Structure 1
Amino acid sequence: MTVLPKIEAFAADLTAIRQDIHAHPELGFEEVRTAGIVAEKLRAYGVDEVHEGLGGTGVVGIIKGTGGGNRRVGLRADMDALPIVEDSGVPYASTNPGRMHACGHDGHTTMLLGAARYLAETRDFDGTVVLIFQPAEEGLGGARRMLEEGLFEKFPCDEIYGMHNDPNSEPGKVNVTPGPAMAGAAFFDITVKGVGSHAAMPHQSRDPIVIGTALVQQMQSVVSRNTPPTKPIVLSVTKFNAGSAYNVVPDAATIAGTIRYFHQDVIEMAEARMRELCAGMASAYGIEIEVDIRNVFDVLMNDPELTTAYVEAAASVVGAENARESTEQASGSEDFADMLKVVPGAYCRVGHAGSVPLHNPGFVLDDGILPIGASIYARIVETRLPKVGS
């Protein structure tokens, strides 16, 4: 492994930044402190331009290379935390109750800051780097808001790159999947409007719990009996809420969850079937069922040519034996997909030590990944914006 020496020299600084951000996690569109740290660091590193407030709390930095080239490469990291009570036991654990960096966004932000410091010091490239620190990746539409507020009109990019830490892979292993790499996602909320009654006289009710539980079971047939086996889909009910007393049949129940998919025809089929099932159940029981299904993430599509370029750049850091193009698709989702719909690019996964999965209260990011990720970001810039004559 060949982490860039300049980055290795300030690896301890990256660890300190990451652990400070980790101790002060902020949810989407609330990343005021984090964004302030990012802007302060970028200015201290000598970044040419620092723009704050795009997409609410987003930050964009501009670094110009020593040549006069016109090509522009974007690098993106996300900054938000999750509404999780931390149980990691680390000395720098969250000091904000009910908030935790359980997905590694503190690491993503720090790796991009490390790349920014290196690139601002060396400027060994011909063109411009656009550093994008995005808010609200965790289902709140931070990428879409930045795009709506003119991200690429104000800061054009010819190509763009992102990355995610991966505790499920070996430390230092880098994987990039060409084409559809991560699932699109929809969230759904269903309200079963029944008729309440005394629990001792349930015949006077139209019990939304009985109806709702039957509906949850029926929705599993969307995957098992309506979807072609060659087109993967995940339909998960993650919330079922009803009732407030032992002796009351409630008048309503709410059901919520997510659908993950890779094919547009599959998500359209799933949405149609869910609506049909709800309508049928409502008719059968003589009640009303409201359905809200909304797209939250698009399918993340890596450009095949830029995937190869990203793997080659990563190989110069972690070794050719540790960087590869993968056929594995992830059922998780990532709103970097929205940026890739506008600008071609690629998204990689970087392995690190640890056995606790993402989005878990006990998750711990391995700080050894920080100089690796920063070096990969720096190398993709230097390889895609080579100096004339180099």
Structure 2
Amino acid sequence: MTLSSDELIQIRRHLHSIPELSMQEYKTQAYVKQIIASFSQTNLEIKELPDLPTALLVLVKGSKPVRNIGYRCDMDALPVTETNGLSYASKNPGVMHACGHDLHTAVALGILNYYSEHQPKDNLVFFFQPAEESESGGKVAYDLGAFTGSFQIDEFYGLHDNPLLKTGVIGCRNGTLFAGTTEVNIIIHGKSGHAAYPHLANDAIVIAANFINQVQTVISRSIDPIKCGVITFGKIQAGVIRNVIAGEARIEGTIRGLNQEMIEFIRQRIIEIAAGLEKSFNCQITVEYNQGGYYPVENNSELTKRFINYMKENKQITFEETKPKMTGEDFGYLINKIPGMMFWLGVESKGALHSAEFLPNEAAIQKGVDAVVGFFNYRMNLEEV
């Protein structure tokens, strides 16, 4: 039996009440499996990954398959304390679905439920993914060989909810939807000493200040003004007491760019600035990078053009062409390896993504299901591979 809108909302609310952090989505995965077990199993095949135990893949076998279409949804939550006062609020203190992955999962279950009752022409592969918010769950799954054999994917789709779009609006663009992100850590090794004898020490705080100031010029003076890049240092640690010169400083930040080339360029400039300061201050600077799977979400041109054309021509759907955002998403890694695209689903929340006040309009769930099912049916009836 096809799930009703009210049933999908109840699923979302239950998921909302049991949020779990990245790589800890055991209750979430168990509940998703429980829901799927209630569907018709005639054309379903389930795959789990022992080395990624909270992941779940579901194959829906097509009647006359010529391709495998993938659909990804993320399931993890954030370390945020909820403030909305809901009857179905988080039961896990300090953890909240502040990015809407509970809604993502409800939409995915609605789509899967439809195709369990209406066999698709092509094979469909649903990927219920852990650890999008951290630890690069998509990359981990890919590297473990999740998308091989009958679970191989020819084209990959996924959505993200958007609180700034009206409920049910589909937003997308050709090119980059989300930026890629890289964590960067800078460790400065100077020499500690007495505040009264600075000439006998090598002040790591002074070096850190120079480093931060110089890096700010990368965006303003090394990058074409019409292109986008961001460097943010959000944390710095140095020193133990006011009258001791710090011998070591640690700076932590993030690099963001709309394509991988931009990220690599910024990374190289930071290395060059660090090398110059090592000579200027006779110190040692260690630069550490960690990008993991957070590549730019660069939508495949052909797939996105087809998707946008369908959404624009469908009178039941309101479509908006959106601008790129500097937020990150590990779906970028998957569609760097497999042709794919991501789009927005409007949820019209008063609170922003990742905030304690995030509260999506649940009417978006059914609208999202209908839009994706409509598009997949359209896609599967096209002649081109």
TM-score (norm 1): 0.89
Other-structure match for 1:143: 138
Deviation at 1:45, TM superposition (A): 1.3
- Structure 1 residue 26 corresponds to structure 2 residue 25: no
CA distance in structure 2 between the partners assigned to 1:199 and 1:82 by the alignment: 42
* Conserved 8 A contact 1:39-1:50: no
Q: Percent identity?
A: 32
Q: Secondary structure of the equivalent of 2:126?
A: strand
CA distance in structure 1 between the partners assigned to 2:269 and 2:382 by the alignment: 55
Amino acid across the alignment from 1:143: G
- Structure 1 residue 39 corresponds to structure 2 residue 33: yes
Deviates more, 1:86-95 or 1:161-170: 86-95
CA offsets per residue over residues 337-378 of structure 1, 9 Å max, x none? 222123222211011222321122222222221111222222
CA distance in structure 2 between the partners assigned to 1:104 and 1:177 by the alignment: 21
RMSD: 2.4
Q: Secondary structure of the equivalent of 2:291?
A: strand
Of 56, 59, 64, the residue aligned with 1:59 is 56
- Structure 1 residue 294 corresponds to structure 2 residue 281: no
Other-structure match for 1:167: 163
* Conserved 8 A contact 1:189-1:293: yes
Q: Is the alpha carbon distance of 1:266 and 1:386 closer, same or farther for their aligned partners in structure 2, counting shifts above 3 Å? A: closer
Q: Is the alpha carbon distance of 1:71 and 1:32 closer, same or farther for their aligned partners in structure 2, counting shifts above 3 Å? A: same
CA distance in structure 2 between the partners assigned to 1:378 and 1:265 by the alignment: 35
Q: Secondary structure of the equivalent of 2:181?
A: strand
* Conserved 8 A contact 2:238-2:250: yes
Other-structure match for 2:180: 184
Other-structure match for 2:255: 259
Q: Secondary structure of the equivalent of 2:353?
A: coil
Deviation at 1:299, TM superposition (A): 2.0
Amino acid across the alignment from 1:310: F
Of 316, 329, 335, the residue aligned with 1:334 is 329
Q: Is the alpha carbon distance of 1:12 and 1:249 closer, same or farther for their aligned partners in structure 2, counting shifts above 3 Å? A: farther
- Structure 1 residue 126 corresponds to structure 2 residue 99: no
CA distance in structure 1 between the partners assigned to 2:382 and 2:285 by the alignment: 62
CA distance in structure 1 between the partners assigned to 2:311 and 2:127 by the alignment: 20
Other-structure match for 2:352: 357
Q: Is the alpha carbon distance of 1:216 and 1:161 closer, same or farther for their aligned partners in structure 2, counting shifts above 3 Å? A: same
Q: How many residues align?
A: 378
Q: Is the alpha carbon distance of 1:341 and 1:117 closer, same or farther for their aligned partners in structure 2, counting shifts above 3 Å? A: same
Deviation at 1:233, TM superposition (A): 0.7
| Structure 2 runs not aligned, ≥5 long | none
Deviation at 1:228, TM superposition (A): 1.1
Q: Is the alpha carbon distance of 1:304 and 1:263 closer, same or farther for their aligned partners in structure 2, counting shifts above 3 Å? A: closer
Q: Secondary structure of the equivalent of 2:71?
A: strand
Q: Secondary structure of the equivalent of 2:287?
A: strand
Amino acid across the alignment from 2:238: A
CA distance in structure 2 between the partners assigned to 1:92 and 1:84 by the alignment: 16
Q: Is the alpha carbon distance of 1:24 and 1:250 closer, same or farther for their aligned partners in structure 2, counting shifts above 3 Å? A: farther
CA distance in structure 1 between the partners assigned to 2:272 and 2:382 by the alignment: 59
TM-score (norm 2): 0.90
CA distance in structure 2 between the partners assigned to 1:305 and 1:144 by the alignment: 23
Q: Map residues 89-100 of structure 1 onto 2, 5 A cutoff.
A: 89-100=85-96
| Structure 1 runs not aligned, ≥5 long | 1-5
Q: Secondary structure of the equivalent of 2:249?
A: strand
Q: Secondary structure of the equivalent of 2:263?
A: helix
Q: Is the alpha carbon distance of 1:146 and 1:243 closer, same or farther for their aligned partners in structure 2, counting shifts above 3 Å? A: same
Amino acid across the alignment from 1:14: L
Of 300, 304, 311, the residue aligned with 1:303 is 300
Deviation at 1:69, TM superposition (A): 2.7
CA distance in structure 1 between the partners assigned to 2:27 and 2:314 by the alignment: 32
* Conserved 8 A contact 1:78-1:136: yes
